[in-house]
Every structure is written in structure tokens, then in C-alpha cells.
A and B are shown apart, each in its own frame.
Chain A
Amino acid sequence: MVWVNAVVQGAMLGGLYALFACGLSLMFGVMRVVNLAHGDLSVLAAYGSVAIFDSFGWNPFVTLLVVIPGMAVVGAGLQRLVLDRALRISPLAPLLATFGLSIALENLLLQIFSPDPRILPIGNFGISSWQLTSQLSISWFGLLTLGVAIVVLVGIEAFLKRTRTGQAMRATSDDPATAELMGIDARSVYTVAAMMAMATVAVAGVFLAMRTTFTPSSGPDYLIFAFEAVVIGGIGSVRGTLVGGLLLGIAQTVGAQVNTADPILAGDLFFLAVLVLRPRGLFRSSVLA
């Protein structure tokens, strides 16, 4: 039962990782950009939510109504002002540009919010759970996180598969020059993709802030988890990202059962094992790429 519990808790933690990984996967899948500021942008969203909570006392869930559109605008700005320009220099330039952005954001947040750890209080909901047996309980918040992750990722996959804009996104991901010849403005496709990615980053950041404490320098940790989830699932595959996130979460909690001292290590080992055995990830054929 201990193991069942570990897997269940891991799946719920993995839901959060999948949410983090979703935006990274989308941006890589559509514009082949590795966004190293991904983790810091989610921490930015978390602080946005904290700032609204501090000033107006809104319920943390309600702050999403502001933070999601706000981050979408940040995404559009990021694409138009930074990534578009960097992509014109070389395929590697966005990597450097987002690395710089990551450092700048971290220091900016440090200046404004101080290094003290913060958390978004969600009252009893954060600690109440559904007690199945004496050893197995499911936290409502964990279940909600997992549910939101599934809805977001399945929603994005359906969007890419079924909608006109989604199909244009896949075509642009395959071959931007030919997409242009079909009447698709690659730049606006990229902007929509960046806005969607940052909207998911907003959700991930706020859910992180409700789950645990964070500081301005928390970003890179979650960037690594997001990376691992994306690589485990298969780069560019949305469905793979969901599974990758869940497996990473499970590997960490099961690892914690074996060796309580370092749960993260188990996740990293699992990630390395996937890299060695299936370097292209578990889901090779995918919606994107």
C-alpha cells in the first residue's frame, strides 16, 4: 500500500510538472526555440498572483483571471521583441537571449519581492484530502492539479488537431517557408503559440505557488523538471509531455520511498535512463514535429 500511495502522490505531483512542461514543449515544437527563461517566467506569474493577493486580497484561484491573460501578453511581447529578432540572427541566438532574460527576471523579482519564501494561501482546501485507507489519501488540491493538467494538455492537443489555427501551427512547425507560400503568416502563428505557452506557464506558476513555497530563484529548478518531462515524453509531442510529467513525478515519489534523502535524484536517474534507452522519448510519433 505504501507503494500504491507513492505512485498516486507521484501522479499528482507529476500533474504539476506536466503543466510546467507544456509551454516548453509547445514553444520547442512550433518555433524550435528552447526557452531557458521558462521557469523564471512561471515564477513571475506566481509573483503576479502574490502581488494581486497582497493588494486586493483576492482568492488565489481568482487571480488566474488576471495572471493568465497577463502572461499571454508577456508571451506576445517575448516573441515579437526577443525571439523573432534572435531567430533572425541564428538558431542558437534564442538560447542565449532567453538565458539572459532568465538572469534579468530573477534579479528583478529579487529586487521587488525580496528573497523571502512566499506561498499563496488557499486555506483548508490546501490540506484537506480524501482518506481512502489509513495509508492512502488523495489530496484535493493534488487531484485538482492533475485534472487541470489533463484538461490543458488534452485541450492543446485537440486545438492542434482540429482547429484551423492549430493545423497552421503544425504546418509552420514542419516547414515555415512553405507555410508562408500557403498564405500563413509564420510570425503571427509564432505569436499565438507563444501566447498559449505563456498562458500555460501562468497556470503552472500559480499552482506551484499554491502548492509550496517559492523564491525568486525557484525558476531554474522547475525549468529542469519541465525539461525532463519533455524529453521523457518525446520532444514536441503534447501527449508525451503529459505522460512524461506524470512519470517524472512518480519516479520522484517512488524514489523517495527507497531513499528519503534525495527524491529528486530518482527522477534524474529515470530521465537519464530514458535518454539512454529511448533517446527520442516514449512518444516518438506526435502531433507536432
Chain B
Amino acid sequence: MESIDVHYGDFQALWSVSLDVAVGRTLAIIGANGAGKSTLLRTIAGALYPSSGSVRFDDRDISRVPAHDRVKLGITLVPEGRRLFPSLSVEENLKIGGFARRSGPWSLARVYDLLPLLGERRHRSAHQLSGGEQQAVAIGRALMANPRLLLLDELSLGLAPIVVQRLYEVLPDITAGGTAVLLVEQDIGRAVAAADHVQCLLEGRVTLEGDPAELDRAAVRTAYFGI
């Protein structure tokens, strides 16, 4: 995606942000609250349209393609706060994830293999689950769409570190199939450990980018907090 500007009314949330995710790679976007991370993901998923710049997928400009059609192309978002469907069971939530009927490696059986907990709780209502279980459903639901680009918004938010650890452990299984992952985190350590490449956002602008090995802690601190 190239030099994206996004506005909420008169407020500009993103200023000329560009990024690129390649097949099978993981890009992490870090940044403090209000840096524009979620806005960025929602723009790629199609929940928001950029006011200028373009979102390209396979060299095709999809800036004006509605969200539900982007799922058919292979872009799926795990939204911040999970956003499961509370009146649906776990299994029904997963099936809704597969609504676009994209073919690919992921099916109910494979999701239950990857996240065995979900199989045990398949008939429970989604709102009866713990936060970590809900996040697992949200990931499984997104995988059911057989995404080529998986967008993960704040996986760790409100979850115990051990649970976050387990969720991050499944990432390599996901990228192994060629799926690109774009993840957004406030937890810098977690993001840097999981990613091939890191970009830092501050007040809607990219302030730093590089491979995890090259990043200097002091520089990250400056880019993250702006001080």
C-alpha cells in the first residue's frame, strides 16, 4: 500500500503511510495508543476507505473495493476486541468465517487441529468463553476464510501473557502455508519477536522501520513515544 491518507471527518488519522507485505512474511506495526495502527488495518480490510493513496493487492488497486469483497480476494481481519458474534456458537462463528467459500488449506477440522480447545467448546455460545478462548475463536474464524493476507489487530490486548504466548505460537503454522501476516501490537517485545520486519507508527506517521535484528532499543523508544 502506498502513501495512504485516512481521515475521520476533519481529523487526519494517517499521513502518507506506505507499507509492503510479501507472501509468507510477517510485518509488525508497533505504536502507542492512537498512533493509527487499527485505522491502518481497517483501511486494508476495507472497513475504511483512504482519502488519498492506494491499497494494492496482487498489483490490483482495491482502494474502493468493499470489505466483503476483499475477503473473497483473501484479505481477512481479526478485529481489535475479537468482535465475535455473541448469539452464535463457536462452530457457527467459525463457519461464518468461511462464508466467502475460498478454497485453501483451512477447514473446520484443521482449525480444530491447530486450536484443540475450540473443538472441545464448539457448541458453546461465543460469549461464554474466556478472553483467550475468544481470541482463539477470532483467529480460527479468520483462518476459515483461507486468507492470503491475515491482519491481526492487538492479539495480546487484555490477555494474560501465557495465553498470548500460546496464540503467538500458532503464527508459524499460519505463515508456513504462504499466508502473509500483518500484525499490530502495543507490546513491542512480542511484535519484534514474531515479525520479519517492523514499522513504528507515531501520530499517524511512520517514524521507524527495519528488520528486528537491526533495531536499536533507544531508537525504538524515540519512534514509539516521540521523545
Contacts and interface: CB of A to CB of B under 8 A. Distances in A.
A174 B99 contact: no
Interface stretch (A119-127, A175-183, A196-204): A175-183
A185 B100 CA distance: 10
A148 interface: no
A182 B86 contact: no
A17 B163 CA distance: 51
Interface stretch (A4-12, A40-48, A101-109, A162-170): A162-170
Secondary structure dominating the interface of A: helix
B46 to A, nearest CB: 8
B103 to A, nearest CB: 14
B68 A185 contact: yes
Contact of A183 (B47, B86, B92, B145): B145
B130 interface: no
A289 interface: yes
A179 B72 CA distance: 13
B83 A178 contact: yes
A181 B88 contact: no
B79 A178 contact: yes
Interface string B54-85: 00000000000011100110001101000101
Given A182-B71, A182-B141, A183-B71, A177 B47 contact: yes
A175 B83 contact: yes
Contacts of B92: 167, 170-171
Contacts of A180: 46-47, 66-68
Interface residues of A, number: 22
Contacts, number: 70
Given A182-B145, A183-B71, A173 B99 contact: no
A32 to B, nearest CB: 14
A63 to B, nearest CB: 37
B21 interface: no
A287 interface: yes
A180 B95 CA distance: 14
Nearest to A160: B87
A181 B47 contact: yes
> Which of A174, A179, A182: most chain B Cβ within 10 A?
A182
Contacts of A167: 88, 92, 95-96
A286 B193 CA distance: 44
Nearest to B97: A182
Contact of A181 (B67, B72, B86, B93): B67
Given A177-B47, A178-B79, A184 B87 contact: no
A28 B111 CA distance: 34
A171 B100 contact: no
A288 interface: yes
Given A174-B86, A174-B88, A184-B68, A179 B96 contact: yes
Contacts of A286: 87
Interface string B26-70: 000000000000000000011100000000000000000011100
Given A180-B67, A182-B97, A183-B100, A170 B87 contact: yes
Interface string A95-139: 000000000000000000000000000000000000000000000
Contacts of B85: 170-171, 174-175, 178-179
Contacts of A184: 68, 96, 99
Interface in B144-190: 145
23 contacts: A164-B95, A164-B99, A167-B95, A170-B87, A170-B88, A171-B85, A171-B92, A175-B85, A178-B83, A179-B85, A180-B67, A181-B46, A181-B71, A181-B83, A182-B68, A182-B97, A182-B99, A182-B100, A182-B145, A183-B72, A183-B100, A184-B99, A185-B68
Interface of B: 45-47, 66-68, 71-72, 76-77, 79, 83, 85-88, 92-93, 95-97, 99-100, 141, 145
Interface of A: 164, 167-168, 170-171, 173-175, 177-186, 286-289
Nearest 5 interchain pairs by C-beta:
A183-B71, A183-B100, A174-B85, A178-B83, A180-B67
